[in-house]
């Protein structure tokens, strides 16, 4: 009854008020019409008068007698409608709650109540239940803030402004509504789409010809059958399609879900094929390039081809997986066997000759902070271009102490005046009829003059370092041979096969010979038959062993720095020597660190050595190993690269101690994962 008594106090509002207003307007209009008929047409006015009277009686009855009933029905409907709304909101299939500005829970529906599993959660802060939702993350303006709780649940916070009269000041009361959304179905669909996407792999047997050449005819069929079965069993066992394209190449297509199985066992096929007994010391190795992340089969195949080329350029015996812009490496633990054939070098030499002869000018450069191998190989390429009658220049900006004795010998010769230039001069000479030849490096940012690469259309790369995912692009000729001991050895081969009558002067042969000596550590590492053949060619052209040794000698102050660096070395995890090179001799700390790293390999039990030096803006790391540890993949974790046995990295925005700790962490992680 109280609601009916309260109804008396209510005034008509909304649509009901509009209906009563129009009824009054009609009553007034009806009365005016009766008066007009009384004045001008009395024969009809009494009929209108009777109608007016009846309408007035009905109107007064509605206003007085039925008003309470109408209001009572309206209030009843409103109360029922509000209760229905509350029930619908409480039973809504989306967890929902109302918070105050401090994040305290004011109200929540059944599903949110069940999710919180709290008996007395009201007036508690939402952050105590969902740490992701904090008042400082609430939307400041009218809008929504999105939260993610896990892979299956997302949330949203919305600002609610309640307009309540005579309660608060302008703006009303501020609440926040929180919604939780179940993303399980979408997550399952995303996972299914991810698993059903495909990948393409190209598998190449690195040393197929070399392996078969070392076994008899009867064993060849047996060996090829074993290799074929291991490859097919591995991929088919993981749900992949496998097809042999050539005698030494396979194509495989599989789902992304199957690719996860391969990566989990880190492509154990690489080690399985090495176990094949071919009756000699040769091991079968594979290179695998995988492309994924694209719904186009043709595009994935092209990506896999690029990945395979990268794997081969890095020395083989590894997997290169490219997913979009991300590149992952697996394997690469063994030393790539040097090929006995000279066919490839001969073909590259003739192609190089054609490139040089087709241009008016050749600009040759190595890497920044040039060592004697970079300088010597660049000068060797200069000699080849000069022999072919093409104008040539060598770019050299900074002269290190180890290069200076050789550099001074060239400056004293009239034929070299104006031929060894700096970057700004090289840029001024670049045009459409210029070829740029890069030696001892394949990364554009590491060259002496990266800007010139974008100014010419003809680019040539000769390098013996393993290729990374960002090599010099759009080259007309590339020769990356990771089995070569040095870039000087490769350039010497180019001269041998490119021209039968080329002759070098003694000081030119000395520079190339010194490059081989330094990179092979006095012919102790990576010195194969091709290395000694190149050295013999240089000796025939006047290279003097004693003279080169004198030019490469270290002064006493630098020798002390190297000795002190070796003395302070720390043996980490029994097999890794880590030391800090501190240069107070005024020499080249980069070369000193490299010498210290080489010296540490003579310690029993050391499988890899790392010498770090602070150059001010960067920390330089020199990494060395004999044959058991691939230091290249270790340095790649720090943004560097190199060879399996010789590598380095430059770390910016870090101090020496921080880089040492990062190196230790990487070594520990890679050992635990079996990567080294």
Q: How confident is the model at residue 390 (pLDDT cuts 50, 70, 90)?
A: very high
∠ Cα 447 464 386 (to 5°): 65
Tell me, yes or no, whether 512 lies in a domain.
yes
What are the pLDDT digits (tens) for 79-111?
Answer: 555 666 667 777 777 777 777 777 777 777 777
By percentage, how much of the chain surpasses pLDDT 70?
A: 78
Comparing 643 with 606, the larger pLDDT belongs to 606
**53 and 115, same domain (yes or no):** no
Query: Quick check: 323 pLDDT over 50?
Result: yes
Domain count along the chain: 5
The Cα-based distances of 378 to 390, 486, 646 in angstroms read 15, 12, 20
Tell me, yes or no, whether 464 lies in a domain.
yes
Select from 168, 189, 210 the last residue of a domain.
189
**257 and 184, same domain (yes or no):** no
**76 and 99, same domain (yes or no):** no
Q: How confident is the model at residue 2 (pLDDT cuts 50, 70, 90)?
A: very low
Report pLDDT for 334: 62
Q: How far is CA 303 from the centre of its chain?
A: 15
What are the pLDDT digits (tens) for 246-266?
Answer: 989 999 998 888 888 888 888
Q: How far apart are CA 585 and CA 562, in angstroms?
A: 10
Q: Which pTM does this prediction carry?
A: 0.63
**83 and 98, same domain (yes or no):** no
> Mind spelling out the 3-state secondary structure of 389-401?
CCEEEEECCCCCC
Q: What CATH number does residue 254 fall under?
A: 3.30.70.270
Report pLDDT for 492: 95
What are the pLDDT digits (tens) for 104-157?
Answer: 777 777 777 776 655 555 456 777 677 767 776 677 666 666 666 665 566 667
Tell me, yes or no, whether 291 lies in a domain.
yes
Tell me, yes or no, whether 338 lies in a domain.
no
Select from 189, 207, 240 the last residue of a domain.
189
**H or E segment to which residue 36 belongs:** helix 14-40
**398 and 453, same domain (yes or no):** yes
What are the pLDDT digits (tens) for 395-433?
Answer: 999 888 888 899 998 888 888 888 999 999 999 999 989
Q: Is 301 helix (H, G, I), strand (E, B) or coil?
A: helix
Which of 15-24, 574-583, 600-609 shows the lowest mean pLDDT across its residues?
15-24
Q: How confident is the model at residue 75 (pLDDT cuts 50, 70, 90)?
A: low
Query: Quick check: 464 pLDDT over 70?
Result: yes
Range of the domain at 618: 556-673
Comparing 277 with 403, the larger pLDDT belongs to 403
For residue 287, which of 303, 263, 302, 267 has the smallest C-alpha distance? Answer: 267
Select from 139, 166, 189 the last residue of a domain.
189
C-beta separation of 462 from 438 below 8 A: yes
C-beta separation of 429 from 449 below 8 A: no
**158 and 203, same domain (yes or no):** no
By percentage, how much of the chain surpasses pLDDT 90?
A: 31
**543 and 563, same domain (yes or no):** no
Tell me, yes or no, whether 204 lies in a domain.
yes
**62 and 118, same domain (yes or no):** no
Q: What CATH number does residue 172 fall under?
A: 3.30.450.20
Tell me, yes or no, whether 336 lies in a domain.
no
**360 and 446, same domain (yes or no):** yes
Report pLDDT for 1: 43
Expressed in angstroms, the distance from the first to the final Cα of the chain is 87
Average of per-residue pLDDT across 317-323:
88
Q: What CATH number does residue 581 fall under?
A: 3.10.310.30
**415 and 519, same domain (yes or no):** yes
Query: Quick check: 609 pLDDT over 90?
Result: yes
Report pLDDT for 12: 53
Burial of 519 per CB tally in 10 Å (0-12, 13-18, 19+): buried
Highest mean pLDDT among 141-155, 320-334, 436-450, 625-639: 436-450
Tell me, yes or no, whether 399 lies in a domain.
yes
> Mind spelling out the 3-state secondary structure of 311-338?
HHHCCCCEEEEEECCEEEEEECCCCCCC
Report pLDDT for 170: 44
- Express the helix, strand and coil content of the chain in percent, nearest 5 each: 45, 20, 35
**567 and 503, same domain (yes or no):** no
What mean pLDDT, rounded, does the chain reach? 81
Report pLDDT for 558: 83
**376 and 266, same domain (yes or no):** no
Report pLDDT for 67: 59
Average of per-residue pLDDT across 316-320:
87
Tell me, yes or no, whether 337 lies in a domain.
no
């Amino acid at each position: 009854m109280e609601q009916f008594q309260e109804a008396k106090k209510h005034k008509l509002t909304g649509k009901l008020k509009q209906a009563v207003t129009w009824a009054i307007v009609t009553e007034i209009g009806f009365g005016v019409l009766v008066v007009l008929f009384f004045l001008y047409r009395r024969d009809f006015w009494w009929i209108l008068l009777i109608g007016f009277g009846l309408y007035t009686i009905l109107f007064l009855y509605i206003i007085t007698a039925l008003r309470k009933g109408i209001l009572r029905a309206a209030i009843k409907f409103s109360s029922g409608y509000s209760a229905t709304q509350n029930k619908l909101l409480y039973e809504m299939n989306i967890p929902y709650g109302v918070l105050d500005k401090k994040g305290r829970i004011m109200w929540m529906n059944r599903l949110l109540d069940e999710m919180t599993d709290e008996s007395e959660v009201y007036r508690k802060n939402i952050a105590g239940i969902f740490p992701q939702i904090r008042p400082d993350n609430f939307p400041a303006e009218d809008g929504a803030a999105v939260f993610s709780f896990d892979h299956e649940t997302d949330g949203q916070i919305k600002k609610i402004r309640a307009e309540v009269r005579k309660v608060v000041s302008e703006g009303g009361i501020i609440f926040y509504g929180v919604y939780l959304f179940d993303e399980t179905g979408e997550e399952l669909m995303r996972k299914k789409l991810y698993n059903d996407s495909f990948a393409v792999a190209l598998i190449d047997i690195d040393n197929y010809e070399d392996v078969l050449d070392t076994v008899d005819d009867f064993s060849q069929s047996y060996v090829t059958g074993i290799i074929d079965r291991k490859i097919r069993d591995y991929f088919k066992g993981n749900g992949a399609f496998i097809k042999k394209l050539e005698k030494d190449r396979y194509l495989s297509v599989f789902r992304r879900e199957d690719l996860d199985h391969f990566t989990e066992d880190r492509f154990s096929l690489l080690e399985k094929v090495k176990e094949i007994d071919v009756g000699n010391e040769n091991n079968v190795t594979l290179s695998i390039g995988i492309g994924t992340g694209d719904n186009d089969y043709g595009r994935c195949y092209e990506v896999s081809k690029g990945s395979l080329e990268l794997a081969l350029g890095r020395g083989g015996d590894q997997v290169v997986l490219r997913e979009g812009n991300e590149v992952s490496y697996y394997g690469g633990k063994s030393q790539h066997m040097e090929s006995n054939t000279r066919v490839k070098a001969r073909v590259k030499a003739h192609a190089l000759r054609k490139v040089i002869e087709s241009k008016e000018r050749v600009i040759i450069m190595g890497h920044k902070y040039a060592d004697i191998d970079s300088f010597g190989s660049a000068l060797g390429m200069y000699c080849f271009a000069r022999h072919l009658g093409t104008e040539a220049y060598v770019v050299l900006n900074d002269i290190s102490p180890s290069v200076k004795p050789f550099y001074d010998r060239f400056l004293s010769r009239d034929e070299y005046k104006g031929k060894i230039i700096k970057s700004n001069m090289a840029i001024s000479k670049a045009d459409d009829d210029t070829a740029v030849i890069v030696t001892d490096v394949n990364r554009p940012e590491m060259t002496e003059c990266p800007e010139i690469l974008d100014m010419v259309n003809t680019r040539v790369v000769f390098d013996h370092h393993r290729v990374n995912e960002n090599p010099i692009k759009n080259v007309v000729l590339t020769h990356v041979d990771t089995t070569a001991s040095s870039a000087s050895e490769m350039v010497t081969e180019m001269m041998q096969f490119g021209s039968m009558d080329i002759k070098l002067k003694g000081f030119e042969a000395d520079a190339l010979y010194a490059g081989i000596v330094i990179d092979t550590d006095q012919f102790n590492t990576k010195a194969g038959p091709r290395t000694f053949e190149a050295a013999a060619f240089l000796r025939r052209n006047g290279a003097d062993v004693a003279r080169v040794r004198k030019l490469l000698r270290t002064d006493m102050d630098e020798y002390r720095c190297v000795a002190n660096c070796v003395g302070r070395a720390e043996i980490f995890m029994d097999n890794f020597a880590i030391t800090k090179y501190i240069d107070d001799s005024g020499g080249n700390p980069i070369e000193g660190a490299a010498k210290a790293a080489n010296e540490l390999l003579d310690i029993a039990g050391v499988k890899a050595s790392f010498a770090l030096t602070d150059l001010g803006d960067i920390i330089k790391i020199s990494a060395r190993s004999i044959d058991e540890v691939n230091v290249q993949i270790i340095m790649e974790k720090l943004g560097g690269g190199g060879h399996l046995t010789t590598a380095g990295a430059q770390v910016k925005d870090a101090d020496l101690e921080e880089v040492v700790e990062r190196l230790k962490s990487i070594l520990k992680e890679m050992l635990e994962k079996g990567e080294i």
